[in-house]
Amino acid sequence: MRAPTFEKGNSPEDRKQHTVLELTVNNHPGVMSHVCGLFSRRAYNVEGILCMPTGDGSRSRIWLLVDRDRRLDQMIKQVMKLRDVIEVQSRGVDHQVFLDLEEFFRMGRIQA
């Protein structure tokens, strides 16, 4: 099995065109479907996705590595309409969460 790579989507050049959205959401089944379904049906590219429960587990945080193009504002507005999305923040592409993950994948590949 081939390890996933970030080479295509996350090279320094590509990364300039990306940004990280940080979503605070209610943690119950179906929320991920709502978020991912929204991006796919509006034909908006998601390069990376991470999700973890926070605090007491009633909420989760989702980080999305997405294209930074003219439709980004529109996508943020669409995401904010989802009932289970409590907050959306736009982080820079250099947000630690994906940089650390990139490192993790790189190590994984060396071991493979």
Partner 1 sequence: MKMTGAQIIVHLLERQGISAIAGIPGGANLPIYDALARRGTIQHVLARHEQGAGFIAQGMARVSGSPQVCFATSGPGVTNILTSIADAKLDSIPVICITGQVPRAMIGTDAFQEVDTYGMSIPITKHNFLVRSASELLEVVPEAFRIAASGRPGPVLIDVPKDVQTEEAEFEAWPEPGRPGPSPDLAMADLIRAAGLINSAKRPILYLGGGIMHSGSAEAAASFAEKGSIPITMTLMGLGAIPTDHPLAIGMLGMHAAGYTNMALEECDLLIAAGVRFDDRATGRVGEFCPNARIIHIDIDPSELDKIKAAHVGIVGDVGRALSMLLPLIEASTRSEWLDRIAALKARYPLEMSNGHNLCAPYGLIRHVAGLLDDSAIVATDVGQHQMWTAQVYPLRRPRQWLTSGGLGTMGFGIPAAIGAALAEPDRVIVCFSGDGSLMMNIQELATAVEQNVNVKIVLMDNSSLGLVRQQQDLFYGRRVYASIFQRRADFVKIAEGFGMSAFDLEPDGDRKAELAQAFSRPGPCLIRVPIDPDEKVYPMVPPGAANKEMIGGKTYACAHI
Residues contributing to the site for partner 1 (CB under 8 A): 29-30, 33-34, 37, 41, 73-74, 77-78, 80-81, 83
- Of the pair 33, 96, the CB lying nearest partner 1 is at 33
Min dist. Cβ of residue 32 to partner 1 (A): 11
- Cα–Cα dist 10/78, whole Å: 25
Closest CA to 64 of 78, 106, 55: 78
Min dist. Cβ of residue 102 to partner 1 (A): 30
- Of the pair 72, 101, the CB lying nearest partner 1 is at 72
Min dist. Cβ of residue 31 to partner 1 (A): 11
Min dist. Cβ of residue 37 to partner 1 (A): 5
- Of the pair 36, 50, the CB lying nearest partner 1 is at 36
Signed CA dihedral, 45, 82, 70, 11: sign only: negative
- Cα–Cα dist 111/45, whole Å: 30
Locus of tokens 């989802």: 82
- Cα–Cα dist 98/94, whole Å: 8
- Of the pair 38, 50, the CB lying nearest partner 1 is at 38
